[in-house]
Amino acid sequence: MAKTPMRVAVTGAAGQIGYALLFRIANGDMLGKDQPVILQLLEIADEKAQKALKGVMMEIDDCAFPLLTEMTAHSDPMTAFKDVDVAVLVGARPRGPGMERKDLLEANAQIFTVQGKALDAVASRNVKVLVVGNPANTNAYIAMKSAPSLPAKNFTAMLRLDHNRALSQVAAKTGTQVKDIEKLTVWGNHSPTMYADYRFATVNGKSVKELINDQEWNANTFLPTVGKRGAAIIEARGLSSAASAANAAIDHVRDWVLGTNGKWTTMGVPSDGSYGIPEGTMFGFPVTTENGEYTIVQGLEIDAFSQERINLTLKELTEEREGVKHLLP
Ligand SMILES: NC(=O)C1=CN([C@@H]2O[C@H](COP(=O)(O)OP(=O)(O)OC[C@H]3O[C@@H](n4cnc5c(N)ncnc54)[C@H](O)[C@@H]3O)[C@@H](O)[C@H]2O)C=CC1
Ligand SMILES: O=C([O-])CC(=O)C(=O)O
Ligand 1 atom with the smallest distance to the CA of 18 is 13
The complex's ipTM? 0.99
Q: Give pLDDT, residue 308.
A: 98
pLDDT in the model for residue 16: 98
pLDDT in tens, 283-326: 999 999 999 999 999 999 999 999 999 999 999 999 999 999 98
Domains along the chain with CATH numbers = 6-157 (3.40.50.720), 159-323 (3.90.110.10)
pLDDT digits (tens, 9 = 90+) for 73-123: 999 999 999 999 999 999 998 888 888 888 889 888 999 999 999 999 999
pLDDT given at position 96: 85
CA of 67 to the centre of ligand 1 (A): 26
The whole-number pLDDT of residue 99 equals: 87
Query: So what's the pLDDT on residue 106?
Result: 83
Pocket test for ligand 2, best of 90, 93, 100, 101 (most atoms within 8 A of CB): 101
Q: Which of 132, 233, 237, 247 to mutate to test the pocket of ligand 2 (most atoms within 8 A of CB)?
A: 233
- Of all protein residues, the one whose alpha carbon is nearest to atom 2 of ligand 1 is 132
Q: What is the mean pLDDT of the chain?
A: 97
Active site residues: 190
- The pLDDT assigned to 295 comes to 98
In this prediction, residue 2 carries a pLDDT of: 86
Q: How far is the CA of 173 from the centre of ligand 1 (A)?
A: 32
Please give the average per-residue pLDDT across 26-35, as a whole number.
98
How confident is the model over 36-44, as a mean pLDDT? 98
pLDDT category at 233 given cuts 50, 70, 90 is very high
The protein residue with its alpha carbon nearest to ligand 1, atom 38, reads: 94
Ligand number nearest to the C-alpha of 245: 1
pLDDT of 153: 98
Atom 7 of ligand 2, residue of closest alpha carbon: 230
pLDDT at 186 over 90: yes
Which residue is closest in CA terms to ligand 2's atom 6? 230
Gap from CA of 94 to ligand 1 centroid (Å)? 6
Q: Is the pLDDT of residue 1 over 80?
A: no
What digits encode the pLDDT tens for the residues 128-154? 999 999 999 999 999 999 999 999 999
User: Which protein residues are within 6 Å of ligand 2, measured from CB?
Assistant: 94-95, 101, 134, 161, 230-231, 233-234, 240-241
- DSSP β-ladder status, 37-42 and 195-197: unpaired
Predicted local confidence at residue 101, as pLDDT: 86
pLDDT digits (tens, 9 = 90+) for 192-202: 999 999 999 99
pTM of the shown model: 0.98
**Annotated binding-site residue numbers for substrate:** 95, 101, 134, 165
Q: With 80 as the cut, is the pLDDT of residue 22 above it?
A: yes
d(CA 148, ligand 1 centre) in Å: 25
